[in-house]
């Protein structure tokens, strides 16, 4: 399959994330806040963007915050492909709830997740499941574009931190150390049959 390089960019901040008090997963679909659009536009002025501006294989999740960020980065000149597998983690019964409410209604689970950040919400997705889901998407991207060497994907924080933990061989409880800020980015390479954080 040859060596490949993936440029993963987290979407800009959405209207429900500006104060950081809402639990957002794949079941919540708010648009970008004005500041989120500004973050994407600021990214276009960086050396990172100069590395990705000519990549033709551009992907995002079907969630609006990912799609809107991808539209800004694609500059209207490249086709954007949507893959549901790139969606944020499933937050189960906590989806769309404010964290204060979660702490009140699920005190034991909330406390446990505080001690062990990889513990999934009730009826939610595990970090292992999310990491494997993202890995499958990257393989699909390579299969769909066998001649491409570089790919750009607008991603979400939870699933990406799970994937980065997995390829680094780290415990999923360390996922917060791999969490990208809004419009933060990371480069992952595929070589020798595996994925590696550059």
CATH number at residue 144: 3.40.50.1240
DSSP 8-state secondary structure symbol assigned to residue 123? T
Tokens linked to 194: 């595996």
Above 90 in pLDDT, residue 102?
A: yes
Confidence of residue 20 (pLDDT cuts 50, 70, 90): confident
Domain count across the chain: 1
Could you give the CA distance from residue 27 to residue 74 in angstroms, rounded to a whole number?
Answer: 25
Q: What is the tens place of the pLDDT at every residue in 67-79?
A: 999 999 998 888 9
Q: What is the pLDDT of residue 76?
A: 82
Query: Which distant-in-sequence residues (6+ apart) come within 8 Å of 181 by Cβ?
Result: 10
Structural domain including 64 reads 4-197
Please calculate the CA angle 53-87-197 and round it to the nearest 5 degrees: 55
106 is written with which tokens?
A: 């699920």
pTM: 0.96
Nearest-angstrom CA–CA distance, 162 and 128: 7
């Amino acid at each position: 399959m040859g060596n490949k390089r993936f440029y993963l960019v987290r979407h800009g901040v959405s209207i429900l994330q500006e104060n950081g008090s809402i639990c957002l997963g794949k079941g919540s679909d708010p648009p970008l806040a004005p500041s989120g659009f500004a973050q994407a536009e600021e990214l276009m002025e960086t050396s990172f963007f100069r590395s990705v501006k000519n990549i033709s294989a551009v992907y995002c999740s079907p969630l609006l915050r990912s799609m809107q960020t991808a539209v800004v980065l694609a500059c209207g000149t490249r086709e954007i492909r949507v893959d549901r597998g790139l969606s944020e983690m499933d937050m189960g019964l906590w989806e769309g709830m404010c964290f204060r409410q979660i702490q009140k209604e699920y005190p034991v689970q909330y406390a446990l997740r505080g001690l062990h950040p990889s513990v999934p919400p009730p009826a939610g997705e595990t970090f292992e499941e999310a990491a494997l889901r993202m890995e499958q998407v990257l393989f699909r991207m390579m299969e769909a574009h066998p001649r491409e060497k570089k790919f750009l994907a607008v991603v979400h924080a939870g699933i990406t931190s799970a994937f980065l933990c997995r390829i680094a061989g780290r415990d999923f409880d360390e996922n917060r150390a791999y969490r990208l800020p809004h419009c933060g980015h990371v480069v992952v390479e595929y070589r020798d049959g595996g994925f590696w954080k550059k």
